[in-house]
Amino acid sequence: MTASSQPAMPRLAGKTAVIIGAAGRGNMGEVIARRFAAEGAHVTVAGRHRQPLEDLATDIGGTSALCDITRKADVDQLFSEAAARHGRVDIALNATGWGLVKRFEKTTEDELDAMLALQFKGPFFFLQAAAATMKQTGGAIIQISSATATVMLNHHAAYMGSKAGIDHVVRCVAYEYGRDGIRANSISPGFTQTPMTADAAAMPGMVDAFVKEYPLGRIGTSDDIAAAAVFLASDECFMTGQNLQVNGGLTLRRNPTQAEINAALAAAVPQD
């Protein structure tokens, strides 16, 4: 067998990873966890629902942990136990999120508090715990963000604002902890086929309204995001403090307006 025909070495072989937000069956966190495991990493999957986490950990030969990202004590314990079990944490990825669709003026204080807890305070705790754990050994921190932190979309202000805010905190971590060998980056999907978007994607005309704004001609998949996450987590990556736009070129154009979405949905309804 020639050198060029040798099987490729798994890109994350020997690394340990912690992924928060992997408790939803088929969600982006689960897809990324499976890809990391296939690339040779030992993966600890975490979230708020025990059974799907345990099932996933069994499937990928990893471990599971209950963790509510909005509780700092939970996040600190997650990283402390992962480091104690494996001696280090090489990769930390946060895939939690809440796709609240609500008019700006109708967004309630309770909804805003819940959004900030899940998409700003919680990720802040995650970044703190990951950086503290990796200070002696270095590692890769990855935050799943959103293209809507850059381009507009109607009725997503709380979601968009909190994603944009934590993107900037990621840059702060990259700036302050690069000397410790820590790389911190975020990934911005666009409209992606996940369980969170399944109901919207199933509406006739919805996907068509978005696809025309994607230069590569399709909306994204969790596999697209997992592939990018593998690169950011690997030793090949010489990036930090960056937001990787993995969305088929959406940010070269824009999301459809609400009026355009409504028109596409109406056009897809059979006329009597």
Q: What is the model's pLDDT at position 198?
A: 87
pLDDT at 88: 97
pLDDT profile of the chain (272 residues), mean per 10? 66 98 95 98 98 98 98 98 97 97 97 98 98 97 98 97 98 98 98 89 94 97 98 98 98 97 91 66
Q: CA–CA distance from 210 to each of 154, 156, 200, 218, 247 (Å)?
A: 13, 15, 11, 8, 11
Considering only CA atoms, which of 143, 182, 133 is closest in space to residue 165? 143
Encode burial over 32-67: b for 16+ CB neighbours within 10 A, e otherwise. Answer: bbbbbbebebbbbbbbbeeebbeebbeebebbbbeb
| Distance in angstroms between the alpha carbons of the first and the last residue of the chain | 65
Q: Regarding the domain with residue range 16-196+220-251, which homologous superfamily does it belong to in the CATH classification? A: NAD(P)-binding Rossmann-like Domain (3.40.50.720)
Domain ranges of the chain: 16-196+220-251
Active-site positions? 159
Closest CA to 54 of 69, 70, 65, 43: 65
- pTM, two decimal places: 0.95
Are the CB atoms for 182 and 173 separated by under 8 Å?
yes
